[in-house]
Structure 1
Amino acid sequence: MDAFKEGWFTELSPMWEGQAFSMEVTSVLYQGQSKFQDVAVLDTKTYGKALALDGAIQCTEKDEFSYQEMMSFLPLTCHPNPKSVLIIGGGDGGVAREVSKFPTVEKIVQCEIDETVVEVSKKYLPFMAKGFESPKLTLNIGDGFKFMGEHEDEFDVIITDSSDPIGPAESLFGEKYYRLCDKALRPGGIICSQGENMWYHAPIIRSMMDFCKGIFPVVSYAYTCIPTYPGGQIGFLLCSKNEETKFEQPLRTFGEAELENFNLRYYTGEIHKSAFILPRFAVKALTGPVQ
């Protein structure tokens, strides 16, 4: 609660030192401590309802769709026929909401460690939590790392919608986790994970890309714009077991009528392609010679 001062919520973190992001709060809808973290839901003046975990903004009503849509449709459109999808994390329900829209997806399995996040999201963030209502979805409450180790050759796409690599999500950023993902994927399977910010976290991203290249034949990085995340940007780490995958060229595109029917407000085929075009500094930091 130290983040609340004089009607404002301020996000402070060692992961983005020397800076902060603040939102004017009209009311605190929920604040409590789960088994794993501090959970807060705020009603804000500019961004609508917002979810914060351990003082870090996870999503806001105004801009969440850019993250949820891109995290879901980037991998799904690059797989030739995704039927079975695993979501690790995603306790607000937003990724499940988007994945359930995809025409070929028949089964969605989700594992979220913090039941409190799920229940709070259902009560206060129904615009995202409606993803839990999908008949395609089976929700499991438990540790995603452990869950992954219990499944082999089962999923076409695995999406890791985690918080930052501190606290309960730390294990989801290591090489052991990605090796478990590899085993849990079917031949030709694809992974998409929350990939941090290229402005602040290039060493973390580079390390992850490097060890992933030792596991998967195709590894890439994309990003989306979202004003309430640090730097206004968040990235996605994508890996494929299919050496012919070209992430920047989706296998399936949607016309305007389909985009409207899916209620997609950010993702398009053009946005997909552009998401993989990185500024020169990022290309050098993530794929160039190690400095």
Structure 2
Amino acid sequence: MTLRPGGVVSIPSNNPWSIDSSMEDIILKCRNIFGGSVNYAWTTVPLYYNGTIGFLLCCKKGPKVDFKNPINPLGPDDLGVAKGPTRIYNSEFMLLRFACRRLPRKQLAPKSPEPRPR
């Protein structure tokens, strides 16, 4: 897989209710592999066994990516490519996707990545 500097990949991850200590290892590995920003988001999936799924969002080292603040936010005056007003999405809803329990928040705190072996 080739990912340009500043490129983003989304990896399915644990749901927000079953995050355990293995999540810290996964976050550290993602930081070491990609070298850029790493964040966790979740969404509801009614047909999933517990109703939610989590995602690790990883950015390759390059231009800084702020996952919580979209570059092109949708708003009442700027619908982007949408054909009309959105029924569910708004900027507050977007920020809620990044709200997590205490454990993942601690694990996602910025740390200096370990050097990658060559």
3-state DSSP of counterpart to 1:229: coil
For 2:79, the aligned partner's letter is E
Which residue does 1:252 correspond to in 2? 72
SS in 2 for 1:234: strand
> Which residue type is aligned with residue 246 of structure 1?
D
Alignment TM-score, normalising by the size of structure 1: 0.31
Q: Deviations over 1:43-70 (max 9, x none)?
A: xxxxxxxxxxxxxxxxxxxxxxxxxxxx
Asked if the contact 1:218/1:243 (under 8 Å) is kept, the reply is: no
Aligned residue number for residue 199 of structure 1:
17
2:55 corresponds to which residue? 236
Asked if structure 2 preserves the Cα contact closer than 8 Å seen for 1:222 and 1:237, the reply is yes
Matched-pair contact (CA < 8 Å) for 1:194–1:236: yes
278, 281, 289: which one aligns with 2:100: 278
Alignment of 1:127-142 (within 5 A): none
User: Structure 1's 266 and 185: CA in aligned 2 closer, same or farther, altered over 3 A?
Assistant: farther
Among 35, 39, 42, the alignment partner of 1:220 is 39
Cα drift, residue 212 of structure 1? 0.8
1:209 aligns with 2:27: yes
One-letter amino acid of the counterpart of residue 10, structure 2: C
- Structure 1 position 266, deviation (Å): 4.5
Conserved in 2, the CA contact under 8 Å of 1:223 and 1:233? yes
Q: Structure 2 CA distance, aligned partners of 1:185 and 1:236?
A: 18
Q: Which has the higher contact order (CA 8 A, sep 6+)?
A: 2
Task: Name the SS for the 1:185 alignment partner.
Answer: coil
**Cα shift readout 1:236-283 (whole Å, capped 9, x = no counterpart):** 111112352211111111234737527855443322222112122432
Letter in 2 for 1:185: L
- Flag the structure with higher helix content: 1
Find the counterpart in structure 2 of residue 31 from structure 1.
none
Structure with the higher strand share, 1 or 2: 1
Listed one character per residue, the Cα deviations across residues 114-158 of structure 1 (whole Å, up to 9, x for unaligned) are xxxxxxxxxxxxxxxxxxxxxxxxxxxxxxxxxx3xxxxxxxxxx
Counterpart mapping for 1:122-161 below 5 A: 148=1
Q: Which of the pair has more CA radius of gyration? A: 1
Name the count of aligned residue pairs.
105
In structure 1, the gaps of 5 or more residues are 1-147, 149-183
Letter in 2 for 1:247: F
- Between the aligned partners of 2:49 and 2:85, the Cα distance in structure 1 is 26
The ranges of structure 1 where at least 4 consecutive aligned residues each deviate by more than 6 angstroms after the TM superposition are none
List gaps (5 residues or longer) in structure 2. Answer: 110-118
Query: Following TM superposition, by how much is the alpha carbon of 1:230 offset from its aligned partner in structure 2, in angstroms?
Result: 2.9
The residue correspondences of 1:100-111 to structure 2 (distance < 5 A) are none
Q: Which residue of 2 aligns with 1:34?
A: none
Letter in 1 for 2:53: I
CA distance in 1, matches of 2:25, 2:101: 19
Counterpart Cα distance in 2 of 1:266 and 1:233? 17
CA contact (8 A) 2:43 2:97 kept: yes
Instruction: Name 1:188's counterpart in structure 2.
Output: 6
Distance across 2 between alignment mates of 1:195 and 1:264? 27
